[in-house]
C-alpha cells in the first residue's frame, strides 16, 4: 500500500561554510589568505608558471521546495585543487565552520567547527587535511522538523583524493571534492479512518447482504421435496 505524506511538508535549507583563523602560515611566499566571503583558502606558495597556489573552495548549498524522500542529498561541499607549489608553509592550521540552517517546514539550525591541520610535504608525497572528522560532523543536529527526519549526515570524497573518516588526502595536480550528504525522510500517514456516517452505511450494507442471503436460504428450504 502506498502511503501519502502526513502533511504538505516542504524543506528549505542553507548549508554554509567558512574559513577563519589561519595560523603558522606566514612563512611562505605568498603566505596563506582567506577570501572576503571566507569561502576560499589560498594556501601558501605558488606554482609555475602561473604563480597560483593550491586552494580549498567552499560551495554554499541552498535547497528549496524539497517534498519527497532524498538519499545522499548534497548539503555542503569543499573542493581542493592541489598544485605543485614552491615556497610553501608545510604545516599550518585553519578553522572550518559548517552551519546547516533549515527555514522550512520550521526553523532549526546547528554548526560544527573543525580545527584543521594542513600539511604540504615535498613532492611527490600527497598533501593532507587532518581533523576533518566524521566524528565531529556526527555532532551536527539533531534537527527537529515537522514531518521530516534528517539523518545519516556524512562526508564523501569525489575525485582524485581519498578520505578515511578523519584525514583527507590529495595527490599533486589532483582535484578532490569532499561533499557533506544527508538523507531526508518524510513522514507517512496511515490510511484514513472512515467517518461515522461511512461506518453506518457500511453496517447497513453488510446487514442488507446478510438479510438477502437469509431469505434465499429460507426460500430454498421451503421448496417441496421431489
Which pLDDT does position 95 carry in this prediction?
Answer: 99
5 has a pLDDT exceeding 50: no
Quote the CA–CA distance of 94 and 41 in Å, as a whole number: 9
Q: What is the mean pLDDT of residues 13-20?
A: 99
Three-state DSSP class for residue 139? coil
∠ CA 155-60-119 to the nearest 5 degrees?
Answer: 55
pLDDT tens per residue across span 71-109: 999 999 999 999 999 999 999 999 999 999 999 999 999
pLDDT tens-digit series, residues 95-105 = 999 999 999 99
What pLDDT is attached to residue 6? 46
Q: Please give the pLDDT value at position 204.
A: 54
C-alpha 85/C-alpha 123 separation (Å) is 9
Q: pLDDT band for position 210 (50/70/90)?
A: low
pLDDT at residue 180 tops 60: yes
Q: What's the whole-number mean pLDDT along residues 6-27?
A: 91
How far apart CA 113 and CA 173 sit, in angstroms, is 28
**What's the CA gap between 154 and 140, in Å, rounded?**
10
Q: Mean pLDDT in the chain? A: 88
pLDDT value, residue 219 = 52
Burial class of 23 by CB neighbour count within 10 A (0 to 12, 13 to 18, 19+): exposed
| pLDDT tens per residue, range 107-117 | 999 999 999 99
C-alpha span between 60 and 57 (Å, rounded): 10
Residue 213 CB burial class (10 angstroms; 0-12, 13-18, ≥19): exposed
- Distances from the Cα of 217 to the Cα of 118, 211, 226, angstroms: 89, 10, 18
Position 216 pLDDT exceeds 60: no
pTM beyond 0.85: no
Amino acid at each position: 500500500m502506498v502511503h501519502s505524506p502526513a502533511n504538505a511538508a516542504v524543506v528549505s535549507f542553507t548549508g554554509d561554510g567558512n574559513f577563519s583563523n589561519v595560523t603558522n602560515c606566514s612563512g611562505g611566499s605568498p603566505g596563506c589568505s582567506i577570501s572576503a566571503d571566507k569561502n576560499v583558502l589560498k594556501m601558501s606558495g605558488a606554482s609555475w608558471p602561473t604563480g597560483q597556489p593550491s586552494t580549498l573552495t567552499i560551495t554554499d548549498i541552498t535547497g528549496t521546495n524539497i517534498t519527497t524522500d532524498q538519499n545522499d542529498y548534497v548539503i555542503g561541499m569543499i573542493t581542493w585543487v592541489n598544485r605543485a607549489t614552491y615556497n610553501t608553509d608545510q604545516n599550518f592550521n585553519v578553522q572550518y565552520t559548517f552551519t546547516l540552517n533549515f527555514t522550512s517546514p520550521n526553523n532549526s539550525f546547528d554548526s560544527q567547527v573543525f580545527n584543521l591541520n594542513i600539511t604540504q610535504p615535498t613532492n611527490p608525497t600527497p598533501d593532507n587535511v587532518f581533523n576533518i572528522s566524521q566524528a565531529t560532523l556526527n555532532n551536527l543536529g539533531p534537527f527537529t522538523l515537522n514531518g521530516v527526519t534528517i539523518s545519516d549526515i556524512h562526508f564523501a570524497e569525489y575525485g582524485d583524493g581519498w578520505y578515511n573518516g578523519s584525514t583527507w588526502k590529495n595527490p599533486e595536480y589532483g582535484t578532490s571534492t569532499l561533499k557533506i550528504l544527508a538523507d531526508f525522510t518524510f513522514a507517512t500517514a496511515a490510511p484514513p479512518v472512515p467517518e461515522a456516517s461511512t461506518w453506518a452505511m457500511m453496517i447497513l450494507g453488510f446487514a442488507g447482504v446478510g438479510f438477502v442471503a437469509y431469505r434465499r436460504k429460507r426460500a430454498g428450504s421451503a421448496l417441496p421435496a421431489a
